[in-house]
Amino acid sequence: MAKDAAGQGERDHRTGVRATLPLAVAVVGFGVSFGVLARAAGMGAVAPIVMSSTTFAGSAQFAAASVLNAGGSVATAVVAAVLLNARYAPIGVSVAPSLIGAWWSRFLTAQLVVDESWAIAAEGDGRFNPRVLLGAGITLYVAWVGGTTLGVLFGDVIGDPARLGLDAAFPALFLALLAPQLRSARSKQVALVGAGIGLALTPFAPPGVPIIAASAACLLGWRR
Amino acid sequence: MSGAWLVVTLVGIATIVIKSIGPLLLGGRDLPPPIASLIGFLAPALLAALVAINTFGAGRSLVLDARVLGVAAGAIAIWRRAPVLLVVVIAAAVTAAARAFA
């Protein structure tokens, strides 16, 4: 890893924090929306905060709270959330070679892997910088749990964050992180096919499944 | 246990397990070369799908709304080599403005 660090210049914990701060504002906003929605769904005050601290995956938590809000069953809420988080299995495999150290430290770092911290920590050659991952992950964690707490406590005063256009901040960030990865013709094809699979399946499959299916686009990169 | 707490517990355990599988079983070990080359393409595949679904998806339908304008403005900013912070701010501001005038 020392060789990696030297080769990659200065990327460390602070890089992760700095790269994530602008996004943290949007994450706080979404944490607030989650807190508000979860309270409206009858989850009480403590359960939403515990969920943000343990599950730490926005889209899955929103899905579970919306199902409960609509009067759906516990099973439906759990299945929806688990499908949305299924992508973290391949994502976890992708970061595994970059995580060294004791099992408990790998276990704890793994919990900080979300789409944003994963994308920011990517070195672009299939490797991930564990220090950047840690800095970005902790920043996002504080923003998400803090936002949820604010939403649960003061939701009625704050109002709807969608008004601020925060929902467009996430695709814009993912696009900004995708752009430098599109150097080769093959990675452009993979990206186009991935986006195509995601959009094509959205009307037909439960949320979460299109994203998982899109990961199959990386099979285009098969080399022996 | 109330329904909400059951959901919180089950989703929490499932997510922690899903996130841990790779790092616990494979941590620090290099993947076999063919798998490693596939995993190298996981980022463009998943990121592109996340861009597309977060721009056009609304539950189980595809819609064209204010987000498209925001993300398009963000794309122009990326093309003009703007820093990520500016890209995110432009996308949110254009989307908010489009909603305000709609």
Domain ranges of chain B: 1-30
Position A223 scores a pLDDT of 65
Domain residue extents for chain A: 2-166, 182-224
A215 interfacial to chain B (CB closer than 8 Å) = yes
- In a 3-state reduction of DSSP, which class is residue A74? helix
ipTM: 0.89
**A71 Rama class: left (phi>0) / alpha (psi -120 to 50) / beta:** left
Residue A146 banded pLDDT, cuts 50, 70, 90: very high
**pLDDT, tens only, A125-141:** 788 999 999 999 999 99
CB contact under 8 A, B25 and A96: yes
Amino acid at B58: A
Q: A73 versus B21: which is more confidently predicted?
A: B21
A158 interfacial to chain B (CB closer than 8 Å) = no
CB contact under 8 A, A43 and B54: no
CB contact under 8 A, A74 and B20: no
Q: A164 versus A16: which is more confidently predicted?
A: A16
Nearest Cα to Cα of residue A61 among A92, A36, A89, A90: A36
Q: How far apart are CA B39 and CA A223, in angstroms?
A: 11
In percent, the amount of chain B with pLDDT more than 70 equals 99
B5's CB contacts (< 8 A; 6+ apart) are: A47
A224 interfacial to chain B (CB closer than 8 Å) = yes
Q: How far apart are CA B40 and CA A122, in angstroms?
A: 10
Nearest to A92 among B19, B48, B85 (CB): B19
A201 interfacial to chain B (CB closer than 8 Å) = no
Q: A132 versus A66: which is more confidently predicted?
A: A132
A3 interfacial to chain B (CB closer than 8 Å) = no
Position B18 scores a pLDDT of 96
CB contact under 8 A, A97 and B16: no
Task: Read off the pTM.
Answer: 0.81
In percent, the amount of chain B with pLDDT more than 90 equals 61
**pLDDT, tens only, A84-112:** 898 899 999 999 999 988 999 999 999 99
Structure-token pair, residue B65: 């709304």
Contacts of A181 in chain B (CB under 8 A): 43-44, 47
Instruction: Name the H helices within chain A.
Output: 2-7, 13-40, 46-54, 58-69, 74-85, 88-95, 103-111, 115-121, 130-158, 169-178, 185-201, 209-214
CB contact under 8 A, A203 and B96: no
Q: What's the mean pLDDT in B31-49? A: 85
Q: What's the mean pLDDT in A20-25? A: 86
DSSP assignment of chain B? --HHHHHHHHHHHHHHHHHHHHHHHHTTPPPPHHHHHHHHTHHHHHHHHHHHHHHHEETTEE---HHHHHHHHHHHHHHTT--HHHHHHHHHHHHHHHHHH-
CB contact under 8 A, A191 and B95: no
In angstroms, the separation between the Cα of residue B98 and the nearest Cα of chain A is 9
Is residue A6's pLDDT more than 60? no
A188's CB contacts (< 8 A; 6+ apart) are: A182, B44
Position A83 scores a pLDDT of 86
